[in-house]
Amino acid sequence: MREDTAHYLTRVLRLAVGATFVAFDPATAREADATIASVDPSVVLQISALRAARVTARRPLTFVQGLAKGDKCDAVVRDATELGATCVIVAECARSVVQLQGARRTSRLERWTRIAQEAARQCGRADPPRIELLPWKDAVSTLEDDAQRFCLHVHEALPLGPLLLEALRTEGAPIAFAAGPEGGLTADEVALAMTQRWQCVSLGALVLRTETAAAAVLGAVRVLDS
Amino acid sequence: MREDTAHYLTRVLRLAVGATFVAFDPATAREADATIASVDPSVVLQISALRAARVTARRPLTFVQGLAKGDKCDAVVRDATELGATCVIVAECARSVVQLQGARRTSRLERWTRIAQEAARQCGRADPPRIELLPWKDAVSTLEDDAQRFCLHVHEALPLGPLLLEALRTEGAPIAFAAGPEGGLTADEVALAMTQRWQCVSLGALVLRTETAAAAVLGAVRVLDS
């Protein structure tokens, strides 16, 4: 067993010999019952037969987040994982202040992937979302053909609520949201999304921070789709 | 003008002479157009006639949050303000690790009130939520008589979605949510809430962090009620 996993089981969760839990294999979305057989000198588990994971996402659910400053994207990845997203695409936008090149690009993507795996483990989910980092134009055009696409845009008046309720009526059908970085999307970026069948929608008059918007719309899906 | 407000206008927002914005009076939910008349030696504003604030909450919306560790309650107050809550009650629960007594109690309440005011200002809202700090038994029994009450409880199977849609049908009717601290609510606390007409509801199989739960349910109200 990897050392960080052993630490998580015996130090963070404080599981002792005899304790049971469910072990996930995210790569195959399978799980098994596990019992701690020994902790010293190393952690040894007794594992039942593998089965299909019980708690998986209910539909393909993508969140495209404009690359934002500081740890905002970390928070979006964590929240989106808890709230059932199956894919989080961090999109490099015209108003993204951060520029990720070369090694920083790789390490940031690894960081978000690790955050998604940890969040999935903590919320009891077998299938962490896929994480991608793409230019905006690619981010808004790499979706399932039948996905309902909602672009959160502060200057637009069409309320999301009724459209989302309609989209949720089809069980298992893909849904996607997109939001810009702190400075918002440019008119060109919005126009480009619209050519890819994204609808511009509003969440009302109050201005949301970018990370609150993600939790709000994915929260709405979670509440209405469970 | 208070020094921190002057700083916010000229340093954070970088407004110069001639810039216009909307000034709120949270206490009376009124607002006015303001123009910066001078910045040196001190900030002077030209203010239009007061009018009723345009952006206010659509219905009484309460979030009762079990007193949690670290800055979790800060995050809940901030998110709840952005998402339209009119009252946030931090509730002292059996499993609240933090104990707030005397001066710490007062200073924490002042801190949350200040966070709510700042968040209201940033999201363009004239009426920051009222913030209270109460024992759980008082927190769950100080609501409007006709409020629909939803207690988020991980072990309970009744899904929130359909009940929330039903509650939102009555325009302007009060809605309240309650969530425990990190360790959850005790059976006694849940039973007490039920005697006060709270319904136990579930957000699905995934375990949410306490601050994500607040954003998810208030986000659902925001999406569906705007």
Distance from CA of B81 to the nearest CA of A (A): 10
Which long-range contacts link A48-54 to residues 24+ away (Cβ below 8 Å)?
Answer: A50/A25, A53/A24, A53/A29, A53/A126, A53/A127, A54/A126, A54/B205
Q: Which fold has domain B61-224?
A: Alpha/beta knot (3.40.1280)
Query: Which pLDDT tens digit goes with each residue over B179-202?
Result: 999 889 999 999 999 999 999 998
Could you tell me the pLDDT band of residue A39, with boundaries at 50, 70 and 90? confident
Amino acid at B60: P
Q: Is A158 left (phi over 0), alpha (psi -120 to 50) or beta?
A: beta
CATH superfamily of this structure's domain B3-52: Hypothetical PUA domain-like; domain 1 (2.40.240.20)
* ipTM attached to this prediction: 0.78
Residues 6+ apart with CB under 8 A from B10: B16, B36, B39, B43
pLDDT at B148: 96
Residues 6+ apart with CB under 8 A from B45: B1, B23, B34, B35, B36, B37
Beta strands in A57-129 (DSSP E): 61-66, 87-92
Chain A hits for B222, Cβ within 8 Å: 203-204, 206, 216, 220
Other CB atoms within a 10 A radius of the CB of residue A20 amount to: 12
Q: What backbone phi and psi angles, to 5 degrees, belong to B19?
A: -70, 145
Chain A hits for B82, Cβ within 8 Å: 206-209, 212
Kindly identify which residue of chain A lies nearest to residue B220, measuring between CA atoms: A220
Q: Are A136 and A91 spatial neighbours (Cβ–Cβ below 8 Å)?
A: yes
Could you tell me the pLDDT band of residue B139, with boundaries at 50, 70 and 90? very high
Please give the Cα distance from A20 to A46 (Å, whole number): 9
pLDDT at B128: 92
Please give the Cα distance from B100 to B87 (Å, whole number): 20
Taking alpha carbons only, the member of A9, A90, A89 closest to residue A43 is: A9
Q: What backbone phi and psi angles, to 5 degrees, belong to B133?
A: -130, 115
Q: Do A219 and B219 touch (CB under 8 A)?
A: yes
Please give the Cα distance from A11 to A4 (Å, whole number): 10
A100, β-bridge pairs: none
Query: Which pLDDT tens digit goes with each residue over B82-135?
Result: 999 999 999 999 999 888 888 999 999 999 999 999 999 888 888 899 999 999
Amino acid at A98: V
Whether A216 has a pLDDT exceeding 90, the answer reads yes
Q: Are A133 and A96 spatial neighbours (Cβ–Cβ below 8 Å)?
A: no
Chain A hits for B219, Cβ within 8 Å: 212, 215-220
pLDDT at A221: 95
Range of A47-51, B21-25, B28-32 with top mean pLDDT? A47-51
Q: What letter would DSSP give residue B152?
A: E
Q: Is A155 on the interface with B (CB under 8 A)?
A: no
Which 3 state secondary structure label does DSSP give A138? helix
SS3 per residue for B52-65: ECCCCCCCCEEEEE
pLDDT at A56: 62
Q: Do B207 and A124 touch (CB under 8 A)?
A: yes
Same-fold call for B3-52 versus B61-224: no
The domain segmentation of chain A, as residue ranges, is 3-52, 61-224
First-last CA distance in chain A: 34
Angle A64-A70-A75 (CA atoms, 0-180°, nearest 5)? 50
Chain B hits for A122, Cβ within 8 Å: 207, 209
Whether B6 has a pLDDT exceeding 70, the answer reads yes
First-last CA distance in chain B: 34
CB-closest option in A161, A207, A222 to B124: A207
Helices (H) and strands (E) in chain B, counts: 7, 10
**Hey, of B121, B206, B217, B224, which one would you mutate to test binding to chain A, going by the most A CBs within 10 A of its CB?**
B206
Please provide the average confidence, as pLDDT, over all residues in chain A: 88
Please give the Cα distance from A63 to A178 (Å, whole number): 6
Contacting A residues, span 61-90, partner chain B, CB-CB under 8 Å:
79, 82-84
Whether A33 has a pLDDT exceeding 70, the answer reads yes
